[in-house]
Amino acid sequence: MTENENGFSTIDIIISIIIITVFVTLIGNLIINININAKETERKTEALSYAVEEIEVIKSEGYKEQYKDKGIDSIEILKEEDIKNKDNEFTGFHKKTIIKDYCLIQKENNNDNSKESNIVKELTVQIIYKLKNHNKIVELSTYITKE
């Protein structure tokens, strides 16, 4: 070969392969991270949908007699269950409804320091699911008042 001939040397080829490998690796990692974030968003959106659905049911039912004397001294679990689809298969989501007596209202007589319970309840719906071997929780609350 003479000095005027153009071609690729072994070093040129090795450097090109290294650069291509780095770029392919970076693009691969970017695609993987985008897929992971999309899956996280999808699972969180689904959990939020279950929570909103349960809150709407609670609000439509209003204050029920079974709420009486619940959650006065501490937070109590009112209901806990796995969420299943129409075919009765486990969806990977777990629902927990928590109740507490949120507002202990003072009686109108200013000399009386006693408080009245069972007027307003706070109901919290937690949807628990696993993502990358970690438990994630979506939580929504609503208030129910006795009429």
Q: What is the DSSP string of the chain?
A: --TT-----HHHHHHHHHHHHHHHHHHHHHHHHHHHHHHHHHHHHHHHHHHHHHHHHHHHH-S-GGGTTSSSSS-EEEEEEEEE-TTS-EEEEEEEEEEEEEEEEEPS-TT---EEEEEEEEEEEEEEEEETTEEEEEEEEEEEE--
Which pLDDT does position 49 carry in this prediction? 96
> Does residue 4 form part of some domain?
no
Which pLDDT does position 31 carry in this prediction? 97
Q: Quick check: 92 pLDDT over 90?
A: yes
Q: Quick check: 124 pLDDT over 50?
A: yes
Which pLDDT does position 106 carry in this prediction? 47
Q: Quick check: 107 pLDDT over 60?
A: no
pLDDT tens-digit readout, 51-77 = 999 999 999 999 998 898 888 878 899
> Does residue 58 form part of some domain?
yes
Range in 29-38, 42-51, 106-115, 116-125 with the lowest mean pLDDT = 106-115
- Kindly indicate the confidence band of residue 146, based on its pLDDT and cuts at 50, 70 and 90: confident
Residue 108 has which token pair? 């109108």
> Does residue 139 form part of some domain?
yes
What range does the domain containing 105 cover?
10-145
- Kindly indicate the confidence band of residue 99, based on its pLDDT and cuts at 50, 70 and 90: very high
> Does residue 99 form part of some domain?
yes
> Does residue 2 form part of some domain?
no
| Domain count of the fold of the chain | 1
> Does residue 3 form part of some domain?
no
Q: Which whole-number Å values give the CA distances from 5 to 1, 9, 31, 41, in the listed order? A: 7, 12, 41, 57
> Does residue 5 form part of some domain?
no
Residue 127 to residue 57: CA distance in whole angstroms: 15
Rounded to two decimals, what is the model's pTM? 0.74
Closest by Cα among 58, 54, 71 to 119:
71
> Does residue 1 form part of some domain?
no
